[in-house]
Every structure is written in C-alpha cells, then in structure tokens.
Structure 1
Amino acid sequence: MNHSLWKRMLVTIVLVCFANRVLDVATADATYPALFAFGDSILDTGNNNHLFSLVKCNFAPYGRDLPNQEPTGRFCNGKIPTDIIASHLGIKQLVPAYLSGDLGVDELSTGVSFASGGSGNDDLTAQMQFVLTLSAQMKNFEEYIQSLNTAVGEQKAASIISNGLYLFSSGNNDIALTHTLNIARSLILFPIYADMIVGWASNFLDDLYSHGARHVWVLSTLPLGCLPGPRALAGILFCQQYLNDQAQTFNTKLEAEVSSLKTKHPDFDIRFIDVYNPMLNLIQNPSSAGFVNVATGCCGSIFSGGLCNLISGSCQDPTNHFFWDSAHPTQAGYEHSLAPILQAMNISSIVS
C-alpha cells in the first residue's frame, strides 16, 4: 500500500475515534450535546471580528473579565447568554464564533455561534451595518453541517443537529435602529412593521427546522427603552416608554408565532424565552440583585457611538452595573436576568 495513502487512513481513524470520545463525553454530561446561536449581538461571540464592519468590539476594555482578559468580540465585559447557558447545561464554558476558523472536532461537535452583532430579522438592518443577515447565517450553518459530516460522520452529525439546543435572538436592532433611523422603514406603522419582522423570524425558524433543528429557544427583545443609549436621549432618569411599548408589541406577536410553529410542527420543541420582563424587573428593582447603576453603562456612551473605548475607560466594578455599554448588559446583568429562566427549566441557578 502507498505510504502516503496509509498515513492519511491512519489520521482519519484517529480523528473519528477522537470525535466519538468527545461526543460520548458531551452526551453524558449534558442534556443537549451542543449549543448553537443565531441572531444579533446578544449571542455573537466574535463573528463580526471577521467582517468589514465597524460593529465590532475585539478591543479593550471588552472581555476584561474573560479568561486571560481577552477581547474576543463579545459585546460585554465577560460571558454573554450563549456562554452562560452552554456552561450551565454542562456543554462547555465558552462557545466559539463560527467564523473564527480552525475549529477542532471537539468545538465543532459541541456547538458554535453564527450570530452577528447588529443583525436583525429585516435584511436591511444587517445591510446597513455590513454584518451578517439571517440568510447569511443560515448559509454558514449549512457549511457547518457539511464540515460536521466530514468530521464525525453523517449519522453522528445528524444526532448532534437534532439533539442540540439552538438560541435565537433577533429583533432588537430592527426596532431600535432600523425602524427608528431608516426613513423608508419609519414610514411603516410599527404594528405593521412588527408583523413583517415576526414573519421574517418565522421563516428563519421554519428553515432551521427543515435543517434538522428540533430544540430552539427564541429570546424576546430586551427592554429597549431602558438601554443607556435611549435613556441618555431622554435625560438618563427615564426609560423611553415608546420603545418599550414597541418591544412589547413585537414580543407578543413573536410569542404567538412561536406557538403557531409548535402547532405546525408537533415534534418541534420551540420555546419563547421572555428576557424582557426579568431584565425590566432588575432595572426597576436594582438593589434586589446588588446593582448600583442601571441607567448608564460601565463604559461607553451614546456620544462615543455606544461602544466602549480606551479613552472613555470603564468602571471599577462591572458587577455593580447592569449595563456594560450603551446597549448591552454586563455579565452580571445577563446572569441575574437568566437565573429565573433557567431555574424555571430545572437548571441549577447561575447566581450564587
């Protein structure tokens, strides 16, 4: 037998054996063998680093509370919901961004994030900021499936796809940015626009089902009117109620559509996850979780484009702040918001 051919066969055998070991461990330690994320910056673990876009945060002080204090491209000081949920399901501590490349079989088989900060259900939302549309994220997922088939075999790949947990967060930017700032979209009455973006979300989720996904958590929007950016425009003291009203309108329609998809596909374990109210409760009652500041970000301001930078610096203790920058919670903000959700699903509390 040709020596080169024999060497390639041996490498393949070792790779498959290693993949089997990883899969066995992941399946034994977690309800779900893998976690996948789609949507916007709430779930983006660094995909925007690899895009020609200004919507990225792969620089200090982002990531200051991650291992090695590394700015990975997460819009936070530390972990985001993608990582927090994955770690408390026993899957892994940090979920890599798909576009980071060079992902080994252990990372591929336990899940990646396809989300892109600044994206939305409306393609225009992503196009305005040169980030990944939902259709582009789906194409990356299709490419991922091919890579997974090669790495672990089609049978195991199909098991990972069907048994994995999928997170979806989208709609925040459609409401807060596109419908507010784009002239063409702002002319559309919001209830009609909400129907449009819920329809696009439904199409994406239906497509996800057709690709084998069976366990999906659809996250509501944040209380958008209480983000530091909109609050700054209102004089900091008050949330922008009209934005919260729009978010609630969208969330109500989205929840109804999730129920409709469940009826359409009886074997579709799809759930609407309300993060709006847990976050609003913490913002209205900050002392209940030890927050001192819920009105401004630990770093960044609306005058700096909403993102942190080295010039503006950051607060000394992010655990006292609910928000990290003008649009995103701190790791502590996310943890306290997700705690009641995970507790309701019989997943151990993430807040000590």
Structure 2
Amino acid sequence: MLHLVDKIILFFINVMFYLSSSEGKTNLQEIVSVSAVLAFGDSFVDQGNNNYDANSGKANYAPYGKDLVGGIPTGRFSNGKTLPDFFAEGLGVKAYLPAYLNPFLQDDDLLTGVSFASGGSGYDPITNKFMSAIPLSEQLNMFKQYIGKLETKVGEEVANDIITNSVFLVVASTNDLIITLPKIGIQDATQYDNMLANMTISFVQELYNLGARRIAVFSAPPVGCSPAQRTLFGGILRMCAEKLNEAAHLYNTILKQQLPTIASRLPHSRVAFVDFYNPLIHIIDNPKKYGLEVVNRSCCGTGLIEVNYMCIKHSRTCQDDSKFLFWDNIHLSEIGCNIFVNQSLPGLMDSLL
C-alpha cells in the first residue's frame, strides 16, 4: 500500500502531467484571472470622460443612455452598455466600466479598471485638434495619475500586480480615417495608413513602458458602412463608402503585420490584434442571423445623419433599438456592442491569457 507521502508525490506528478497536456493548458488559461480592464481611445470606449472636458463632444443627454438603469445618460455614446462594459463583464471583472474623470468615482473602482478614452480622439494629433478631444498623450498622463492613486491605496507591489494582470483595450483610428484623412486631402491613403500604424505601435510601446502586459489593439471598423458615411458618400442607394473602407482595410492590414514584431520586442507581453472590421461586415451582410433588421440606418432620429447633439434636436427614436446595429450614425447600439463582443471575446482570451 502507498503511504500518505507517496500518494501526495503521485498526485503532484499527475497534476504536472495534466497541466503539460493541451487540455490542461486550455483549462489553466481559463482560470487565469483578469484584475482590471483599462480602456484608451475614442467614443467607442468613452464611458463619459468627455462630460468633464469643456471642449469635447458629449453624449450626456437624452436619448443617449435610455436603456441604462434608470434611463440616465452617462456620456456613453450609445443607448445602453458599450464595448468596455461588455468586455469587462465577459472577462469576469464587473458589469460597468466607469470613466476615469467621473468625480463620483470611488477608490474601489480603481481596483477593477476605468476608461481614459475621449470621444473624437485619434492616434493623429491633428485629429484631436479638429475634434477638440482629449488626446491619447493626455490619456496616458491620466493613466500615470491612476497608477499613483492605485499605489497610494494598495501599495506599489499590489498596484503593479493589478496592472500586470489587467487587460488594456485600445480603440482609436475611426476619427483619423473619417475626419482627418479627408480634410488633409490625401488621395492615396497608403502613406497616411502607414503613418497611422506607426503611431499605433508607438502608443502600444508607451503603454508597455508604463506596465501594460496584456494589450488588445482594435483594428479600424468598416467606417464607410456607418450610416453617416453612407448618407454622405454612398450615393442615392446609400451604399457603403468604399474608399473609406479601403483606407480602413489597408490600415488594418499594415497594423496586423506589424503588431507581432512589436510584441516580440516586449518581454512578457501579450499583444492581440482585435478585428473590428470583418465581424461587423459579416453582421451587416447577415443581419437576420443576429436577430437584427436594420443595419444601414441608426435608431436615433431619421437614422440618416444624426449623431451627438443632432440626436437631441431629432430626439425621436426607433420603436425597438434591439433590431438596429447602430444607435446613432457612428456608434453601435447596445445590442450591436453585445453581438460584437460575444464574437470577439473567445479569441481575445486565447491571445491574451
């Protein structure tokens, strides 16, 4: 008969053998925890920071937020929960990711993450000037302040552990492509897309230098298929604006090629490319598969051009926003965000955890 010590040794041998197997590795990945979610970028991940910046575009009025608890607008550019909320929930962190600049933010909120993002921002500094948004450079400064607050609350060692085990969401480029690129009059987007990709890589490097190790970098969405761009550039049939989509696709291709290179130079990092383009194209091409009915107009107003303050001027909304991919003419509805995150989260977890 085996003695107790022998049984213990045999148990650990079996455990080590199991963890070395593919099944064991998969299950081990599943129990790796995410301490916090931290978001940077534009209005897709702005949870209300623009509310507290005098010059930025805001979504702190009805009908924005109509499907949140109490129907209260929070500055989220949607009718309800947004991408960061669903990612934070899906990663087992919390149901709502707050804005860092919210004056009612509690110290405990810092432990599980915040958003530093600002609607209207982009990688290109020119974009931030056009849109009067909080630039990514200032979002990094806010992150440095956050680190200081975290260290004050829990100590440097625990703060470092929280940041190391956080997932960083980086969602920009849309405003660069739909605002700055057309304004500066570049006919061939190749040069601009290369510059934009280099700016993206530089931002990833800066996040890493501040302690980020799990970084999810979103590609550009199919910007030409947003209702506003269809109305402005899609002709009488309001088709997707192909030139804008081509610019987005080219940027995505360059970025996807470059991210593995930067990741290989950042020890102990996981840098994931999150495809924000093809899943949305698939939803647009197959709306009924996802329980949607309208993908070329938004729920707010006429559905043709309204965004931000124009939604308050035309405050009537569709009868059932759960059937609309877009809430306003740029931003996804709550159901649109939920569908996208459900599609993307498994791959993101495989890449980062």
Q: TM-score range by the shorter chain?
A: 0.7 to 0.9
Q: Alpha-carbon deviations, 1:67-121, whole Å to 9, x = none?
A: 1111000000111110000011111111110011242221011100001011000
Q: 1:187 to 1:246 in 2, by over 3 A?
A: closer
Higher mean alpha-carbon deviation, 255-264 vs 299-308, is at 299-308
User: 1:285 aligns to what?
Assistant: 286
Matched residue SS, 1:296 = strand
CA distance in 1, matches of 2:349, 2:170: 21
Q: Alpha-carbon deviations, 1:301-344, whole Å to 9, x = none?
A: 55545652253411111110000001011011111122122234
Written as runs of structure 1 = structure 2, the 5 A alignment for 1:310-325 is 311-325=314-328
Higher mean alpha-carbon deviation, 133-142 vs 300-309, is at 300-309
The one-letter code matched in structure 1 to 2:335 is: A
Unmatched tracts of structure 2, length 5 or more: 1-30
User: 1:94 aligns to what?
Assistant: 96
User: 1:247 aligns to what?
Assistant: 248
Offset, 1:157? 0.6
Q: Alpha-carbon deviations, 1:120-153, whole Å to 9, x = none?
A: 0001111112111110100111111111111111
Give the TM-score normalised by structure 1. 0.86
Matched residue SS, 1:271 = strand
CA distance in 2, matches of 1:78, 1:236: 30
The alignment-based identity, stated in percent, is 38
Contact 2:213 2:269 in 1 (8 A): yes
Contact 2:300 2:306 in 1 (8 A): no
Contact 2:52 2:102 in 1 (8 A): yes
CA distance in 2, matches of 1:30, 1:328: 32
CA distance in 2, matches of 1:168, 1:269: 13
CA distance in 1, matches of 2:151, 2:255: 33
Higher mean alpha-carbon deviation, 95-104 vs 238-247, is at 95-104
User: 1:61 aligns to what?
Assistant: 63
CA distance in 1, matches of 2:179, 2:237: 19
Q: 1:167 to 1:309 in 2, by over 3 A?
A: same
Q: Alpha-carbon deviations, 1:280-303, whole Å to 9, x = none?
A: 101011111111110110004555
Contact 2:164 2:214 in 1 (8 A): yes
The one-letter code matched in structure 1 to 2:214 is: H
Contact 2:213 2:268 in 1 (8 A): yes
Matched residue SS, 1:309 = helix
User: 1:227 aligns to what?
Assistant: 226
CA distance in 2, matches of 1:134, 1:302: 30
User: 1:332 aligns to what?
Assistant: 335
Offset, 1:242? 1.0
Offset, 1:232? 1.0
Is 1:343 the counterpart of 2:346 in the alignment? Answer: yes
Is 1:265 the counterpart of 2:266 in the alignment? Answer: yes
Contact 1:60 1:310 in 2 (8 A): no
CA distance in 1, matches of 2:284, 2:306: 23
Give the TM-score normalised by structure 2. 0.86
Q: Alpha-carbon deviations, 1:239-294, whole Å to 9, x = none?
A: 11111111100111111221111111141111001021111101011111111110
Written as runs of structure 1 = structure 2, the 5 A alignment for 1:76-95 is 76-95=78-97
CA distance in 1, matches of 2:120, 2:237: 23
Contact 2:197 2:251 in 1 (8 A): yes
Contact 1:236 1:296 in 2 (8 A): no
User: 2:209 aligns to what?
Assistant: 210
User: 2:192 aligns to what?
Assistant: 193
User: 2:13 aligns to what?
Assistant: none
CA distance in 1, matches of 2:35, 2:247: 36
Q: Alpha-carbon deviations, 1:1-34, whole Å to 9, x = none?
A: xxxxxxxxxxxxxxxxxxxxxxxxxxxx972110
Matched residue SS, 2:298 = coil
Written as runs of structure 1 = structure 2, the 5 A alignment for 1:291-306 is 291-300=292-301, 301=303, 303-304=305-306
CA distance in 2, matches of 1:310, 1:68: 22
Backbone CA RMSD of aligned residues:
1.8
Offset, 1:186? 2.1
User: 2:15 aligns to what?
Assistant: none
The one-letter code matched in structure 2 to 1:261 is: I
Q: How many residues align?
A: 317
